[in-house]
Amino acid sequence: MAAAGRYLSLRLRVPDRPGSLAGVLAALAAVGANVLEVEHERTATRLDIGEVEVFVVLETRGPDHATDVVASLTQAGYAVTRE
């Protein structure tokens, strides 16, 4: 699966508010990405007050789908970094 480009690792910065993680997961479900792993970081010094970093490992249908996933999250207003 890795050789086929079906794994995608992302970091997203989201507001530290109830429901923010659920919103990220709903956005991923809407674009058809399968979530394999989630890490939620609230205390890193690189984060601003009121901000959370979410690290996700996803399974996609391939490189084109991975590009679509990132574009969809960016369009939804998330700050996305590919790992």
Question: How much is the mean pLDDT over the chain?
Answer: 90
The answer to whether the CB of 56 falls within 8 A of the CB of 38 is yes
The larger pLDDT score, comparing residue 60 to residue 83, is at 60
Q: Is 1 part of any domain? A: no
What is the value of pTM for the model shown?
Answer: 0.87
pLDDT, residue 2, reads 61
CATH of the domain at 74: 3.30.70.260
- The residues, ordered by sequence, that sit 6+ positions from 74 with a Cβ below 8 Å of its Cβ are 80
- The residues, ordered by sequence, that sit 6+ positions from 41 with a Cβ below 8 Å of its Cβ are 47, 52, 53, 54, 55
Q: Is 63 part of any domain? A: yes
- Domain of 77? 7-82
Taken in order 65, 69, 70, 75, the sign of the CA dihedral is positive
If one counts the domains in the chain, the total is 1
Q: Is 2 part of any domain? A: no
pLDDT, residue 48, reads 74
Q: What mean pLDDT is predicted for residues 14-41? A: 94
